[in-house]
Structure 1
Amino acid sequence: MTPGLVIAAASSGTGKTTLMLGLLAALRARGVAVQPLKCGPDYIDPAFHAAAAGRSSVNLDAWAMTPAQIAALAARTTDFPVDLIVTEGSMGLFDGVAVPGETGTGASADIAALMGWPVILVIDASGQAQTAAAVALGLAQFRADVTVAGVVLNKIASPRHEALVRRGFESIGLPVLGVLPRAAGIELPSRHLGLVQAEETGELERLLSHAGEIVAEHCDLDAIMGCANTQEGSFAPYRPAPPPGQRIALARDAAFSFVYPHLMEAWRAGGASILPFSPLADEAPDPSADVCWLPGGYPELHAGRLSGNRNFVEGVRNFAQTRPVHGECGGYMALGAGIVDAEGQRHEMLGLFGLETSFAKRKMHLGYRRADLMSPMPGFATGHALRGHEFHYANILSQPDAPLARVVDPNGAEVPETGSVRVMPEGGRVTGTFFHLIAEATC
């Protein structure tokens, strides 16, 4: 397998994505073929990875995925050979849930240990000097099966600051592979839900080019590449779940964009054709499709426009009379009767469920979910167990339809976001969930 490494940190907000994007851009400029990957449930970072590396990125999830699926996704092949795998961690290196899932707790460390990938720590040294080395030493010694190969220092204020921080790392023998100055100016913008999508970022090419130049100037690229390693041994064969249909009408625009890349790759590998349509452009599902899928996204930011796009509204309503329609999170809310936006204004939605949701009083709903299906949904029969992730600020005002599943959090506690199912008089079936599907559960 191609050698790899993991970019991780002690916490969120330390500069992992900054280093990841700059490293991808810098290595690509050198002619190195890099396969980017992302630990954990994240829709945003893989799109930025793809823009920087020129190659699609997928998620690896230690709570939702089996070791075989993780290894298969890491080893997947596309149009050109790969020289190096670089995986961006999530949150802190060892942060996960309390109860393990398919492979681990969902921590980035679980992926590093499973795949034998050394970790490069991004150390936010702002407000610290030699203490930064103590933090890194604790991370390096926390788990015997995780190897920390070196660090990249971020937010260094001055040459004097750098000298003091370096002295700490010399005392513990952990290599400093790069030093990013505080004035580098390559921060990504932030917006609704704390997220900004790659396609919404103005001058993305310029930002990535600048990040690549900064990382190439201030990091030892050869030393970073030299840290990469791979796990010896073999994994069980992995066969992904079948696609939800052979011709999938997929809503795809700024309102509906959150679908995991590995799912679409699996659908295509299963022989399915994906037929994108834009609800914001008032497009209806392709009439030749045998299933319609509305992913998550930001329908609440476009609710008035969506409500008035009659071709879209009537097209999905007509499609649902005879064929399956499924919605995830934002897609689920759009299938409901109405959405109340942040200003308190209600917008009529598709009305295929009685679901009413509101953003007037925001409340975060976040975490892994296990769903045991009480009714079939596209691609899965009754009784199948699924693993996914929920992240939204909507409150349920009414959820009157039959529940799609029994849904629990990682600790086994039931959550009220059960999803919904409605069977139409002409044989169509509409299903929806607040969680985003990651993988089928095996345990």
Structure 2
Amino acid sequence: MAEVPGLLVSAPSSGTGKTTVMLGLLRALAEEGLAVQPFKSGPDYIDPAFHRAASGRASFNLDGWAMGPHLWQAIAAQAAGADICVAEGSMGLYDGVATRGQQGFGSSAETARAMGWPVVLVLDVGGQAQSAAATALGFRQYMPDLPFAGVILNRVASPRHERLTRLGMERAGLPVLGVLPRRGDLTLPERHLGLIQAVEHPDLEAAIAGYAAFLREHVDLAALRTAAAGGPVPGAAPALPRPPAQRIALAQDAAFSFTYPHLLEGWRAAGAEVLPFSPLADEPPAAGADLVWLPGGYPELHAGRLAAADTFRAGLRRHAETKPIHGECGGYMALGAGLIDKGGTRHEMAGLLGLVTSYETRKFHLGYRRAVLRAPMPGFDAGAALRGHEFHYSTILEQPDPPLAEVADADGAPVAETGSRRGQVTGTFFHLISAEEPSAPRAQAQEEARIHTKVRL
């Protein structure tokens, strides 16, 4: 088993600047001639595209709640051939859910500990000086066996501010790996689901180059490389997820882009042919496709164009006459009868499901999901237990079709967004991450048996 040293970039909370640090670090290390393998800890389908743009290598998610050990090993093996791994945490370092999942609670700290990657803690020190060391020390000591590289101080206002903050870190015995002066231009554009998509950034390459130059000037890259550690790469890892069909027409544009990279990598590695098409360009899915897959994205921002895309919608309807279609979140909404936009205007969608959703009547839906299928969906039989994540603001107004699954949150509480099915068309509001591995807890296996019996009755 080879080893590729790595680091995990995290922070006490969201909004501290860890994504810009991550992108600058990826590019700066790549410019030093290193093959840099990026990862994302936790459920996120936006950041990996930015990572790829910065590093030149596909980025993959590692998720202790949603992934079993076999999938984890298969994803870790994607670091083969790299010189260093750099992972980005999600939310705060220790943030996770209350109930254990397939391997853990989904925190970035668990990912760092499992992979042996020392944590680089990005601290927003605005409005404080020596007190920042108390925060950092608490994060260092909360999980004593967590490997810890040091801190990067962000949004430092002046040389005096830096000197005082450094004094606190020295007293706490915490290495300072970098000091980033406050700059208002080092931010990425955002919208209601977080960052805009990488493909939408007006000048992503220039932004990443700027982040890299900023980090080279203010961060000790040599010290970071020295601190990198761990990173066992399995020599004969299990396979990534198998494709749900041989020829898959995949919607791919600014309205539909939220697909987890390990799924696409697994499909292609197993020999499936992925056939991209753009609904926004009024393109139909490939006529010879075995399956149409509509991922999540931002259909609510493009509802008028989708409603006017007659060729796209006609192609979906032709395909659904004989072959399956599946939609996730935004793709699910596009398969429905109607979508009401922010201004209250209803737009007709494909009409392959009876679903009517509203972005005008906004409600926040966020969290892990565990689904036990009541009927088959592409790639999975009825009774299969799936793990995923839901993140959107749309509200269901009508859902007349039979539910696709029984869905619960991370703590086992029932979730109303069950997905639905009609003929060979299925859809869910959760984004698929993985099928549950056989090592699932006994209580979950018993729950599956109960649901299977209910379905048969």
TM bin, normalised by shorter chain, reads over 0.9
Partner of 2:295: 295
In the alignment, is residue 138 of structure 1 matched against residue 138 of structure 2? yes
Does residue 438 in structure 1 map to residue 440 in structure 2?
Answer: no
Deviations 1:113-172 (A, max 9, x none): 111111010011001111111111111111123121111100000000000000001101
Tell me which amino acid in the other structure corresponds to 2:325: V
Task: Give the Å deviation of 1:43.
Answer: 1.3
1:327 is displaced (CA, Å) by 0.2
Distance 1:307-1:233 versus aligned 2 partners, 3 A rule: closer
Q: Which residue of 1 aligns with 2:178?
A: 178
Three-state SS of the structure 1 residue aligned to 2:382 is: coil
How far 1:67 moved relative to its partner?
2.9
Residue 187 of structure 1, CA deviation:
1.0
Quick one: distance in 1 between partners of 2:251 and 2:36? 30
How far has the Cα of 1:362 moved from its partner?
1.0
Give the whole-Å Cα distance in 2 for the aligned partners of 1:237 and 1:66: 13
Q: Deviations over 1:281-327 (max 9, x none)?
A: 11101011100000001111111111111110100011011001000
Q: Where does the alignment leave 5 or more consecutive residues of structure 1 unmatched?
A: 424-428
2:273 is the alignment partner of 1:273: yes
User: Is 1:30 paired with 2:32?
Assistant: yes
Q: Partners of 1:17 and 1:233 in 2: how far apart?
A: 25
Question: Contact 1:374–1:403 (CA<8 Å) still a contact in 2?
Answer: yes
Native 8 Å contact 2:252 2:278 kept in 1: yes
- What is the distance in 2 between the residues matched to 1:414 and 1:348? 30
- Which residue type is aligned with residue 66 of structure 2? A
1:122-161 matches, cutoff 5 A: 122-161=122-161
Name the aligned partner's letter for residue 249 of structure 2.
A
Q: Which residue of 2 aligns with 1:51?
A: 53
Secondary structure of the corresponding residue to residue 413 of structure 1: coil
SS at match of 1:417: coil
Tell me if structure 1 keeps the 8 A contact 2:241–2:263: no
Shift of 1:69: 1.9
What's the secondary structure of 2:380's corresponding residue? Answer: coil
Is the CA contact (8 Å cut-off) linking 1:103 and 1:110 kept in structure 2?
no
Q: Quote the offset at 1:235 in angstroms.
A: 9.5
Is this contact kept in 2: 1:2–1:75, CA < 8 A?
no
2:71 is the alignment partner of 1:63: no
> 2:390: which partner in 1?
390
Q: Partners of 1:224 and 1:379 in 2: how far apart?
A: 42
Q: Alignment partner of 1:322: what SS?
A: coil
Q: 1:283 and 2:283 equivalent? A: yes
Aligned position for 1:250: 250
Across the two proteins, how many residue pairs are aligned to each other? Answer: 436
**Residue in structure 2 matched with residue 426 of structure 1 by the alignment:** none
* Structure 1: distance between partners of 2:411 and 2:295: 26
Checking the alignment, whether the CA contact within 8 Å between 1:68 and 1:236 is kept in structure 2 is no
Tell me the distance in 1 between the aligned counterparts of 2:235 and 2:430. Answer: 29
Equivalent of 2:76 in 67, 74, 77: 74
1:234, distance to aligned residue in structure 2 (A): 6.5
Give the TM-score normalised by the residue count of structure 1. Answer: 0.96
| Cross-structure match for 2:43 | 41
Measure, in 2, the Cα distance between the counterparts of 1:277 and 1:203. 24
Shift of residue 238, structure 1, vs aligned partner? 2.5
Query: Where does residue 346 of structure 2 map in the other structure?
Result: 346
> Deviation per CA, 1:383-417, whole angstroms, max 9, x where unpaired?
11000000010001011101100000011011110
The one-letter code sitting in structure 1 at the alignment partner of 2:134 is A
Residue 5 of structure 1 pairs with residue 7 of structure 2:
yes
Helix, strand or coil at the partner of 1:171? helix
Letter of the 2:434 partner, please give it.
A
Distance in 2 of aligned mates of 1:229 and 1:135: 24
Contact 2:6 2:231 in 1 (8 A): no
User: What is the Cα deviation at residue 237 of structure 1?
Assistant: 4.6
Work out the CA distance in 2 between the residues paired with 1:180 and 1:14.
Answer: 12
CA distance in 1, matches of 2:102, 2:19: 26
Instruction: Tell me the SS of whatever aligns to 1:412.
Output: coil
Matched residue type, 1:174: L
Deviations along 1:178-226, one digit per CA (max 9) or x if unpaired, are 0000027311111242330111111111111111000001000010011
Whole-Å Cα distance in 1 between the matches of residues 365 and 344 of structure 2? 19
> Matches of 2:41 and 2:184 in 1, distance apart?
26
Taking the aligned partners of 1:52 and 1:238, their CA distance within structure 2 comes to 28
Compute the displacement of 1:233 (Å). Answer: 9.5
Is this contact kept in 1: 2:356–2:399, CA < 8 A?
A: yes
- Verify the 8 A CA contact 1:71 1:235 in the aligned structure 2: no
Deviates more, 1:140-149 or 1:235-244: 235-244
2: CA distance, partners of 1:230 / 1:8? 17
2:446 alignment counterpart: none
Give me the whole-angstrom Cα distance separating, in 2, the residues matched to 1:129 and 1:240.
46
Letter in 2 for 1:433: T
Q: Deviations over 1:23-81 (max 9, x none)?
A: 11111111111101111111111111111111111111111012332232122157xx3
Q: How does 1:106-125 map to 2 (within 5 A)?
A: 106-125=106-125
Q: Distance in 2 between matches of 1:411 and 1:391?
A: 17
5+ long unaligned stretches in structure 2: 441-457
Work out the CA distance in 1 between the residues paired with 2:204 and 2:232. Answer: 38
Aligned mates of 1:144, 1:153 — CA distance in 2: 22
Give the distance between the partners of 2:406 and 2:336, measured in 1 at CA: 19
Q: Give 1:371 deviation, angstroms.
A: 0.3
The aligned counterpart of 2:21 is 19
Q: What aligned pairs does 1:213-362 form with structure 2 within 5 A after superposition? A: 213-230=213-230, 237-362=237-362
Identity %: 61
Contact 2:76 2:233 in 1 (8 A): no
**SS state of the match for residue 193, structure 2?**
helix
CA distance in structure 2 between the partners assigned to 1:399 and 1:284 by the alignment: 25
